[in-house]
Amino acid sequence: MYTIGVGTRGKALSPVAIYPNGQYKYDMVDVEIDDAMLEKVAETTGGKYFRATNERALADIYREIDKLEKTRIKVTEHSRRHEEYFPLVLAGGCLLLCAFALDRTILRATP
């Protein structure tokens, strides 16, 4: 498993309150990411820990993970089919049987 710590180091601008008119109040807050715990999770699962401090670094991390991860996944697809022609074939067969029976009995032409 790969773990990624996302956020700047030190302080970052973050919303801390919302005013009644819907606007946010921003303030500098400490960014606290438990790097040690994320590293331990990655190490335990045989993965790697990454730290992204900006959007470009995060994109680079995703590219690196794509290069590292080469596991083939077997996908099994199931589909259920329902044939729609059977009622029409049955009706056609019945009409053909009726035509054959009528031709041999009631509608028989006499020479």
- Which residue type does 53 have? T
Give domain limits for the chain: 3-68
Mean pLDDT, the chain, whole residue set:
87
Surface-to-core class of residue 65, CB atoms within 10 Å of its CB (0-12 exposed, 13-18 middle, 19+ buried): middle
d(CA 111, CA 34): 103
pLDDT greater than 60 at residue 45: yes
CA R_g for the chain: 36
pTM of the model: 0.49
User: CB atoms < 10 A from the CB of 104, how many?
Assistant: 9
Percent of the chain with pLDDT over 70: 98
